[in-house]
């Protein structure tokens, strides 16, 4: 897994946090909404299947810098698949979520990766593979090793979580946030030291970053 570091600070003139779009992708019922709800509202409850897309925001405090995550929670049911690409356009990061007790959902996450690869150039978007529902270990169909090896083979970040038990949920979002800040810093350095905003504006929708 890549390590965060080498962060470029936002310019002194700006006190605004970086703004990044993170999209949650995966089959129905793997726990995408539950992960978002757990992270943003520290809550876990039965939620209805998402229709279209749900939207959350959270400011992540990373010490010297902060980052505002705009979290787009897409509907996993098959009938919504054809419209999902509309939501992940312009994303800076994606969580490919599967349910460790449903092998099908692991294969589906791999298909989502192919969809992302059609939309983005290599390295343009930070992708983490997330195996959810570790509290149901006795029903496990996808081993930790399988998830890890697939992630490594495609240069993805990887973690397992339980939204129910609040296991590694903040670590998932925190790790992605640190990677986003690191990327923004690297791009700022390449652009002569100016800070970079990964934003939801028109430039981001074309898969580019904006210089503040």
Ligand X SMILES: Nc1nc2c(ncn2[C@@H]2O[C@H](COP(=O)(O)OP(=O)(O)OP(=O)(O)O)[C@@H](O)[C@H]2O)c(=O)[nH]1
For binding to ligand X (CB under 6 A), which residues are involved?
26, 28-34, 46-47, 49-50, 75-77, 132-133, 135-136, 162-164
Cβ-proximal residue to ligand X, closest one: 76
d(CA 122, CA 190): 18
Helices 81-88, 103-119: crossing angle, 10 deg rounding? 50
Burial class (CB in 10 A: 0-12, 13-18, 19+), 123: exposed
Identity of the residue, 29 or 187, whose beta carbon is nearer to ligand X in the bound complex: 29
| Residue 100 vs 197, nearer CB to ligand X | 100
Provide, rounded to whole angstroms, the least separation between the CB of residue 129 and ligand X: 15
Count of CA atoms in the C-beta half-sphere (13 A) of 144: 5
**DSSP H helical segments within the chain, as ranges?**
32-41, 81-88, 103-119, 144-153, 169-190, 202-205
For the CB of residue 208, give the shortest distance to ligand X in the complex, in Å.
29
In the bound state with ligand X, the residue whose beta carbon lies nearer, of 18 and 112, is: 112
Query: Which residues share a beta bridge with 19?
Result: 68
- Judged by beta carbon, residue 52 or residue 202, the one nearer ligand X is 52
Alpha-carbon span 19 to 67, nearest angstrom: 6
Work out how close the CB of 203 gets to ligand X at its nearest, in angstroms, rounded to a whole number. 29
- CA 75 from chain center: how many Å? 15
- Closest approach, Cβ 153 to ligand X, in A, equals 24
**What's the min distance (Å) between Cβ of 58 and ligand X?**
17
- Computed on alpha carbons and rounded to an integer, the radius of gyration of the chain in Å comes to 17
- How many whole angstroms from its chain centre is CA 87? 13
Q: Which is nearer to ligand X, 104 or 152 (CB)?
A: 104
167 half-sphere exposure, CB direction, 13 A CA radius:
15
> Smaller CB distance to ligand X: residue 7 or 163?
163
Shortest distance, position 198 Cβ to ligand X, whole Å: 24
């Amino acid at each position: 897994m890549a390590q965060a570091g080498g962060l470029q600070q936002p310019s002194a003139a700006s006190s605004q946090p970086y703004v990044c779009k993170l999209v949650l992708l995966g089959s129905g019922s793997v726990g995408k909404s539950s992960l978002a709800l757990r992270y943003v509202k520290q809550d876990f409850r039965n939620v209805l299947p998402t229709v279209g897309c749900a939207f959350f925001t959270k400011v992540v405090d990373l010490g010297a810098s902060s980052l505002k995550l705009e979290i787009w929670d897409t509907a996993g049911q098959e009938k919504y698949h054809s419209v999902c690409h509309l939501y992940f356009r312009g994303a800076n990061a994606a969580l490919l979520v599967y349910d460790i007790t449903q092998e099908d959902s692991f294969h589906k996450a791999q298909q989502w990766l192919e969809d992302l690869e059609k939309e983005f150039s290599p390295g343009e978007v930070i992708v983490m593979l997330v195996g959810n529902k570790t509290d149901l270990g006795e029903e496990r169909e996808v081993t930790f090793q399988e998830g890890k090896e697939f992630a490594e083979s495609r240069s993805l970040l990887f973690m397992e979580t339980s939204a129910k038990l609040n296991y590694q949920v903040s670590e998932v979002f925190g790790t992605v946030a640190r990677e986003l800040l690191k990327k923004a810093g690297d791009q700022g350095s390449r652009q002569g030291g100016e800070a970079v905003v990964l934003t939801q504006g028109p430039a981001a929708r074309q898969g580019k970053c904006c210089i503040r």
